[in-house]
Structure 1
Amino acid sequence: MSGIGRRGVGGLAEGIGFCFRGFGWVARHPRWWLFGLLPALVATVLYAVALVWLGTHATDLAARVTPFADGWGWRDAFRTLVGIMIFVMGLGLAVLTFTAVTLAIGEPFYEKLSEKVEEDLGGIPAGDETPFWRSFLRSLRDSVVTLLYVLMFAIPLFALGFVPVIGQTVVPVVGALVSGFFLAAELTALALERRALRRRQRFALLRSNMALTLGFGVPFFLAFMVPLLSVVVMPAAVAGAAMLVRGRLAPPATQPA
């Protein structure tokens, strides 16, 4: 996750600024904020059930993945620690996939919300004319691919979490940066797809603006870690992402005349 460079601090601050601009927009449009809450509420109920199940079965799962510890005298303490790590990893994956699942559930809702933000900023750009069903399937496929990328980072970070000192200091920070990047990728997908940019193009654009991307994605990742706050924040995240794309990421040629 290198590439922040000399203007990193300014890019981070600008990304954070778009977070606040998203909150400002929904504060001025409370009806659209309520409109954007519905898919997030549905997704939250689904995730709450899954996390409760994971929390009540974490120790059993830990026992299944650590058969080598059967003869250890401190087996129970070790498996309790592994169970906690499993739950924390599950919580992190829930935060990362929450956006993708919520966007999938609420595709028509958030598409309209994102379009409304762009209308307020000067008009919706001419973009992709792909039928809804095909666009939905493409978005679903892209979300699955993004999840696979996340797992490529999450599994090694999970293992490093057991390393003393590093696992309690460096790993959480790196995990937040990685998670923030991919969360920003999910949130900006609506506005960038509207400009006919495919997944590889979107990722390249975000990587070339790494500080800006992290400044936007990491604060929302941390907010999504707080139970129920993700429901309230989701409409602001979508609005802020539309502003970020339009204000800083979108190629000038894709903006409306």
Structure 2
Amino acid sequence: MDEVEVVVAHHERATLRVGDVFLKVDADQTRTDVEVEAMAMAPIPTPEVLWRKPPVLALAALPGTALGRLGEPSTASSAAWAAAGAAARLLHDAPLPPWPGRSLDEIASHLDGECEWLVTNGVLPIDLVTHNRRVAEAALRPWTPAFTHADLQITHVFVDGDEITGVIDWSEAAPGDALYDLATLTLGHEEHLDDVLAGYGTDVDLDVIRAWWSLRSLVGVRWLVEHGFDPSAPGCEIDVLRARM
């Protein structure tokens, strides 16, 4: 009998692996609705939906391994990183999902609230927060909406050799800023940004990508702490913020 592996678990959702099947349990069925519809729309490889019995979604495991992990060196080839960039470009060029994404005002308000929390609670030094808040300002500009994954972490991109075998965890997918996906993909792995952009195949504003690194890290610290993760681990969000100083 296959063992049950807990992939991730917190009070919002849990993912278990049993053999070649992933079981995703989510208290919010809206997120699961988005995930299933986004995977059906995406023009890049995604996991096969085996069955759905709310609150459980069963997905087939993807071949290959994750592109990497935050805080650890990636062993994936430059070609694999470029393939990830090319997959992102295919997604961003696809027709938009029919549901709304986050507005610029919502993102700015969330950022300001998280910065205030970080300073008020003494979680991070005020100069670190203030500097990165200024860096993040470059991301807060109008953009042409694209079909974004919106959580394109390297752990969500699977590769086999130099090829992309699939992308997982689509519950945040929505119209949004394409550069946010590229920044999320390269967060903590700045050394692979050139490879990703080579595969993406078009010029981008590097200041905006750096801004999204700061913004994503600033708004992520509290969530990570409250859900049992450590944003201060080497190479993770707090190190990303320090690197911008």
TM-score range, shorter chain: under 0.3
Structure ranking higher on relative contact order (CA contacts 8 Å, 6+ apart): 1
In the superposition, the TM-score normalised over structure 1's length comes to 0.26
In the superposition, the TM-score normalised over structure 2's length comes to 0.26
Query: Going by fraction, where is strand more abundant, 1 or 2?
Result: 2
Query: Going by fraction, where is helix more abundant, 1 or 2?
Result: 1
